[in-house]
Amino acid sequence: MPTTLNPYLSFRDNAREAMNFYQSVFGGELTLSTFGEFQASDDPAESEKIMHGMLTTSKGMVLMGADTPNSMGYTPGASISISLSGDDEAELRGYYEKLSGDGGTVTVPMEQSPWGDIFGMCTDRFGVAWLVNVNSAQGAAGTPQG
């Protein structure tokens, strides 16, 4: 099996809501495990928090996330963006619209970029930044997202 790199998002206490949202955006199979299922927290109030969530899509994308137990201390605002790129403009525009809608914000509208691709940036309602790039024949080699 080749080595893979998967985004793993940390939430204070809304991982279930966030991961269900991402499933509504990308589709796929979502598995959620709670701290209570694994007796991984001494605090009964945290038993329903998500210890590990994993969304696997039919397109091969994997997104993971979890709540942060009180004992670990939560530090919001990690500086990271998730990049989506490919050739299917309708698919990528659909992701962009869903991520930027319903409480999300548009940072850069989806439009022609200086490198020739169609590009946009947004932040979803959970504060996660997304870069969406539709590869074009002329821009594919020079796109910053690869």
pLDDT band at 1, cuts 50/70/90? Answer: low
By residue range, what is the domain housing residue 99? 81-134
pTM of this structure: 0.83
Of 70, 92, 114, which one is at a domain's C-terminal end?
70
Domain count, the chain: 2
25-48 per-position pLDDT tens digit: 999 999 999 999 988 777 888 999
Same domain, 88 and 120: yes
Last residue of a domain, one of 47, 70, 93: 70
CATH of the domain at 111: 3.10.180.10
Read off the pLDDT of residues 60-117 as tens digits, 9 standing for 90 and up.
999 999 998 887 776 665 567 899 999 999 999 999 999 999 999 999 999 999 899 9
**In degrees rounded to 5, what are phi and psi of residue 66?**
-160, 160
The last residue of a domain, from among 70, 101, 123: 70
Of 57, 67, 70, nearest to 30 by C-alpha is 57
Residue 49 lies in a domain: yes
* Residue whose entry in the numeric block shows the structure tokens 């548009």: 106
The DSSP line for 41-110 is -S-GGGTTSEEEEEEE-TTS-EEEEEE--GGG--------EEEEEES-HHHHHHHHHHHHSTT-EEEEEE
